[in-house]
Amino acid sequence: MSIRVGLLGLKYGAQVLLPALKSNHRFDVVAVCARTPGQAEAVAQEYGVPRWYTDPRKLIASKLDLVVIATPPPSHAGYAAAALAAGKHVLVEVAYVGCAADARVLCDLAREHSRVGAVVYPMRFVPTIRHVGDVLGLGGLGRMRHIQMDFYTSALAERPNELPWMWAAEHGGGIAANFLFHAIDLVTRWFGPVAAVDATLTTRAAAAPQPGGAAPADDTGLLALHLESGLLATFSFSAVVAVIRTQLALHGAQGSLLIHGFGDETELLTMGATTSRPLFPPTPYLEETRGETGLQGGLPVLLDRLASAIGGAPAPDLPTLDEALEIQRILDAARRSARESRQVLIAEV
């Protein structure tokens, strides 16, 4: 029996999530919702969805198994809480929620109502990334020495007002919460929990004005994660520069592994070598994503894992609400560190 799905939010939701859900036979999208008059009806007719709403409460109250939330981040916590309380499973887009307190409430509701909750962290399912996990599991880099990520884009310099919620620091805004979480998720999965955070988060562009004169979220910064193992992971980022580069580098005693983009390509440089060699993921990983790499390749696998979990079957690596809470604690610690100019222990959050 197909899982009946209702989709809230039809901008990114209609562009990416709706086609992915419609292409998976385990899901049946039966309702969509957008507040803009006419948008929900137009999308529903385009994709053959039988019901459409302009009031999210009516969608949540309808006959559904799963509510997928792709609205702007300030609304995520409220809609997810309402869906869980109504006995629905939930899948929440990123940025997830505004703070760890909201994330804890959603974890508690999912347990109370015995519902499956997941967050859209697709990078862990990208074929190249799964292969990197295999290499690390076999000790292919030797003892780990350092992890470093660069994320640079001109997106907010060229289109500063395109996503006004991106500037809302208290509601899941900022580059750290909206892009670095992909790498933070991988670092904690591969190398264990974070003990403390040092962060500098700044705003270098002319940000969209915030209600009440609140300070805008970060568009540039530095982030250092001190893992319980003693390993250090550093992140440098800006969304207002001309350089375009995304790279996650894993440095070990036997070599360095470079992940370009969001898992688009990977290469290995062994210690002492002058040239690197590309790494190609195993065929089964590519078959599972139909040859797609990057985040688009990871999303269908995530949806399959979610369908299995809702059906009561094992769902390895599904990004749960509990895991999302731990990443939210790291982000909250980063914001506190930037405000107070000190290292913040995760235990404080």
In order, the DSSP letters of 67-129 are EEE-S-GGGHHHHHHHHHHTT-EEEE-SS--SSHHHHHHHHHHHHHTT--EEE--GGGGSHHH
User: What pLDDT, on a 0 to 100 scale, did the predictor assign at position 14?
Assistant: 93
User: What pLDDT, on a 0 to 100 scale, did the predictor assign at position 344?
Assistant: 98
Q: Is the pLDDT assigned to residue 273 strictly greater than 80?
A: yes
Domains of the chain and any CATH numbers: 3-122+302-312 (3.40.50.720), 125-293+324-348 (3.30.360.10)
Candidates 121, 54, 42, 56; CA nearest to 86 is 56
Q: What is the pLDDT of residues 34-76, one digit of tens each?
A: 998 899 999 999 999 999 999 999 999 999 999 999 999 999 9
User: What pLDDT, on a 0 to 100 scale, did the predictor assign at position 208?
Assistant: 67
Q: Is the pLDDT assigned to residue 286 strictly greater than 80?
A: yes
- How confident is residue 207, by pLDDT bands cut at 50, 70 and 90? confident
Give yes or no for a contact between 332 and 193, defined as CB atoms under 8 angstroms apart: no
d(CA 349, CA 347) in angstroms, rounded, equals 6
Instruction: Please give the C-alpha separations between residue 287 and each of 27, 121, 127, 264, in angstroms, as whole numbers.
Output: 20, 20, 9, 16
Q: What is the pLDDT of residues 100-128, one digit of tens each?
A: 999 999 999 999 999 999 999 999 999 99
Sequence letter at residue 38: G
User: What pLDDT, on a 0 to 100 scale, did the predictor assign at position 33?
Assistant: 98
